[in-house]
Amino acid sequence: MENIKVGIIGGAGYTAGELIRLLINHPETEIDFVFSTSNAGNKISKVHQDLVGSLDLKFTDTVNPDVDVLFLCLGHGNSVKFLSNNAFSKNTKIIDLGNDFRLEAGKVFDNKTFVYGLPELQKNDIENADYIANPGCFATAIQLALLPLADKDLLNDDVHINAVTGATGAGTSLSATTHYTWRDNNFSYYKPFTHQHLGEINQSVKQLQNNFSSEILFMPNRGNFSRGIFATVYTDFEGTVEEAKTLYKEYYKDAAFTFVSDDNLHLKQVVNTNKCLIHLHKHNNKLLITSIIDNLLKGASGQAIQNMNLMFGLEETTGLGLKGTYF
């Protein structure tokens, strides 16, 4: 089989950088072009500087409309704009890492139907899709904590979520809260109870449990680390912790990257991997579910490659056997 030809749009950001890092080691792909108007003509390794010695390619401001797959790594809201102004072959599959097409209301654009790309929710739909809306990072971690319960209609009370994300979650832009002297040894929250990923989360939960009517109370925090999401979720659950484990292990038995751990979790168990690890704990009537991912991999670029693999009929884990950075 010929290599899959890949185009990347928005090539200077974090998620594009991660895609490039993954694709240069992926055995079935070749990077055709990396589009970045602000960096056109510069070597990619001038921006993603760890790629010195790995890649000679330059950024371009011209697209090849015949690539096999296109990854959109644009600021939220910009994918619609880009696709309106740039035509691609009807054979070009598209994976959007932004949030333009994630919700039911916006999933059809220009006769293209974007499938929500969470393999643990709907692997078959992804395998048959040409257009994918790749989930948000918090949304991924939190859904993977909730889906096995929703799948059994067991989410019947308020869901309390506290999650912490690293500084890469804020993107490459410079701001007061990404300045080293501010963030070093600091902690804060933002958008309490109103984070934009709540839409995706509610949508997927209701897809599995259509009578879900409780509230999801989500506190997102900024941690003083670079990568990763650590989410704790609790809600009422009548069964024992063993029953919960059985239920989760059954739900994830075919998952390529999501595993239930019998031991307490800490964030670095998943950093620089495409894994999600889940741990379950029971206290009185509350089930405490911990879910950890790397926000740039399972929460963005790694999941995008996983979706690509599924769409092209490859082994789901191809190119994703990553060495973690446990320390």
The nearer residue to a copy of itself, 50 or 110, going by C-beta atoms, is 50
Does residue 3 bind a copy of itself (CB under 8 A)? no
The nearer residue to a copy of itself, 131 or 257, going by C-beta atoms, is 257
Q: Exactly one of 277, 280, 300, 311 binds a copy of itself (CB under 8 A); which one?
A: 277
Q: Which residues of 29-63 are buried (b: 16+ CB within 10 A; e: fewer)?
A: bebbbbbbeebeeebbbebbeebeeebebbbbeeb
Smallest distance from a copy of itself to CB 239, Å: 18
Give the footprint of a copy of itself on residues 50-109 (CB under 8 A): 50, 52-53
Does residue 192 bind a copy of itself (CB under 8 A)? yes
Look up residue 29 and give its two tokens.
């792909």
User: Rounded to whole angstroms, how far apart are CA atoms 124 and 69?
Assistant: 19
Does residue 272 bind a copy of itself (CB under 8 A)? yes
The nearer residue to a copy of itself, 180 or 313, going by C-beta atoms, is 180
The nearer residue to a copy of itself, 46 or 81, going by C-beta atoms, is 46
Smallest distance from a copy of itself to CB 218, Å: 10
User: Rounded to whole angstroms, how far apart are CA atoms 183 and 185?
Assistant: 6
Whole-Å CA distances, 285 to 8, 74, 217, 261? 47, 43, 18, 21
Q: Specify which residues 71 forms β-bridges with.
A: 8, 95
Smallest distance from a copy of itself to CB 315, Å: 13
73 is catalytic: no
* Amino acid identity at 57: L
Give the footprint of a copy of itself on residues 13-52 (CB under 8 A): 14, 17-18, 21-22, 24-25, 46, 48-50, 52
Whole-Å CA distances, 279 to 8, 135, 136, 285, 291? 35, 21, 21, 17, 7
Does residue 119 bind a copy of itself (CB under 8 A)? no
User: Rounded to whole angstroms, how far apart are CA atoms 113 and 225?
Assistant: 36
Smallest distance from a copy of itself to CB 216, Å: 12
Does residue 219 bind a copy of itself (CB under 8 A)? yes
